[in-house]
Structures are given as C-alpha cells and as structure tokens.
Amino acid sequence: MKKIIGAAFVLAGVIGSTHAAEACGTVTIADMNWSSAELIANVDKFILQEGYGCEAELIPGDTMPTGTSMVEKGKPDVAPEFWSNSFSAALEKGVKEKRLRVAGDSLSDGGEEGFWVPEYMVKADPSLATLKGIKANVKLFKHPEDPSKSAFMTCPAGWGCQITNANLYKALKLEEAGFELLDPGSAAGLSGAIAKAYERKKPWFGYYWAPTPILGKYKMVKVDFGSGIDAEHYKACIGQADCENPKPTMYPPSPVKTVTTEEFASREPAAFAYLAKRSFKNAQMNGLLAWMEENQADGDVAMEYFLKNNEATWTPWVPSDVAAKVKAALAKL
C-alpha cells in the first residue's frame, strides 16, 4: 500500500513538473562568485521559478568562462550581472552573430571603477583625495618587498582592468613619482590586502570597483585625477593593450548588463521582458551588500530579504499576476 501511495506521489510530482515546464521550460542562470551577482541570480531564479513557472537552475561560473560558454554552447541561458567592459569585443561579436542578446542594465548607474585610498587617510590629510596629494606623499605607500619603492596595487593578472591600470599608470606618470605596479594575483588577494591595511589603519593605494561588499564595509575615497572623464579616449586607447599615448582620464561608469542567449530570448519572451526591466540602483545595491556582509548572508538569504522588504522595487518589473504568484510563494518561505 505504501509503495502505491509513494508511486502516486512520484507520478504527481512528474506531472506537476511537466506542467511547469510547459509554461516556461528549463532556465540556467549564471551564478557568479561575488555578492551582488549572487543576489541578482537568486532573485531571478525565484521570480522565474515562482512567477513564470520555469525550472530555474543556478550554474556557478566567472565572467570569462560564462561568457565564452554562452557564445559557444548556448549555456547558461542568463548572465544576470555581466561587466561587459572585460568582455566587450566578444559580447559585440556574440550580439552581431545572433548568439547573445543584451536584455538591459543590471545596475542602472553602471559600475564604478577607480583608484582608491582608505577614508582614514583622507581624514588625516585631505590632500590625499587628489592625485597630486598622493604623488606628494609617495613615501607613505611603502612597497612590501622593497622599502625604497612605493606600491600601487593593480588589478589581478589577466583581468581587463589590468590593461586600463597599466595605461593609466603610464598616463598619470606614477612610475616617475616612484610607484611600482603590485599584482595581488587574485580578487581574494586584492580584497585581503585592503582588509589587512584597513584593520591596522595602514596606507593603501590601488584599484578597486563598486558596488562591492569590500567598499561597503571599508570606506574608501576615490582619488580624483583632476582630469575629468574622457570616455572617447578611454574606449579608444586606455582600454586597449596597444595604447601608445595614454592620456589621464577618470574611469567612465562601466556598463553592467543582463545578457541572455538569443535562443532563450526568442523562446521565452515573457521571462526576457522581466529580465529587461530588472535593474538595481547602486545606492540600493550598496545597502543590500552591506546587509549581506553584516549578516554573512549568501545569495539565497539575501534574495528573501530583498523581496520581502523591497516590494516597491521589484513589483514594477513583472506583470501583476506574476507579482501575486511571487508574493504567495514568498509568504510560504
């Protein structure tokens, strides 16, 4: 008897899931390994699953491998927070060849890159908020392996920002000022170095980007180059490895997009419409990231927190019947 009941349950489950699958199908979402991407991926998963009846699945992966796999293999279907600067050529090509489609901005203000110093240093000496002040105080930023030199911590080997850093290093004449490029090796090494400096209130000068939990947790000041933003020159020269004559410019906001495969966009227009609308402001994202950091929350927990407390933000992203379904599912969590 028990077996029959069990079988009936299994059967019901199968039928139930095929129903759901008919409504939308299986969606694979790239789950990138930093907090904001994790949060957005979990929000997408929950809304697509509960609101649109998709079988959503998260696939871990970094920007480069995910982007390549989307172009070459058509999997995963959705990359919810794609920093397109580091993948711009391949992204353009993918869109042109009808393999990828850009749904919209995940962060409507765009990502903020720059050279930063800790806030406590600027409080002690306000001139350090400008490049001139940094150069005048070059001796503060001691190189860990050679006390006679100073260190500028660049972006990890192989990232797109390594090129922009190297070009700006030349353009801003940091070498003449006595700075040497110091490669942290990985994102974890870079954030570890910031944490170390901050915990001991030591000088630090280097590249970082926002919105990130690190900049949410450790208050930093973006150094003003006194040059303004020259977006044209940035795109044409600073972002290119063979830039011969780099000129100083601040970082223009970097586009952070939601990217899907063309196949997904044409198969699931309703879900695609949601992804096109789903977008966060930096201020809100920083707040969410700070909450995640404070509570050591992973994407799953943060998703619940966000959806429960920010109804006004996410309900406009979806039609009202979908919103009702998501709310009902939320109540059950």
Task: Please give the residue ranges that form the binding site for another protein (CB under 8 A).
Answer: 62, 64, 68, 144-146, 156-159, 162, 182-186, 188-189, 192-193, 195-196, 199-200, 295-296, 301
* Phi, psi (rounded to 5 degrees) for 128: -70, -5
Q: Which is nearer to another protein, 97 or 146 (CB)?
A: 146
Sheet of strand 150-153, all strands in order from the earlier edge strand to the far edge = 179-182, 150-153, 206-210, 112-118, 220-222
- Of 38 and 44, the one with the shorter C-beta distance to another protein is 38
Determine the straight-line distance between the first and last CA of the chain, rounded to whole angstroms. 32
Beta carbon nearer to another protein, 157 or 229:
157
What is the DSSP annotation of 222-266?
EPB-SS---HHHIIIIITSTT-SS----PPPPBPEEEEEEHHHHH
Q: Cis bond leading into 255, ω under 30°?
A: no
Q: How far is the CB of 282 from another protein (least distance, A)?
A: 25
CB 49 within 8 A of CB 18: no
Of 243 and 275, nearer to another protein (C-beta) is 243
Shortest distance (Å) from residue 191 CB to another protein: 8
Q: How far, in Å, CA of 87 to CA of 13, rounded? A: 41
Of residues 189 and 226, the one with the C-beta less far from another protein: 189
Nearest distance, CB of residue 21 and another protein, angstroms: 26
**Residue pair 182/154 in contact by the 8 Å Cβ criterion:** yes
Closest contact distance (angstroms) between CB of 210 and another protein is 21
Report angle CA 145, 150, 155 to the nearest 5 degrees: 85
Give whichever of 18 and 295 is closer to another protein, judged by the CB atom. 295
Residue 295 C-beta: closest distance to another protein, Å:
6
Euclidean distance between CA atoms 165 and 228, whole angstroms: 16
- What's at 151, amino acid-wise? A
Strands 220-222 and 206-210, how do they pair? unpaired
As measured in angstroms, the least distance from the Cβ of 121 to another protein is 17
- Nearer to another protein (CB atom), residue 21 or residue 157: 157
CB of 88 to another protein, least distance (A): 13
Q: Smallest distance from the beta carbon of 190 to another protein, in angstroms?
A: 8
**Structural Rg of the chain based on CA atoms:** 23
Of 156 and 178, which has the nearer Cβ to another protein? 156
User: Alpha-carbon distance 212 to 99, whole Å?
Assistant: 30
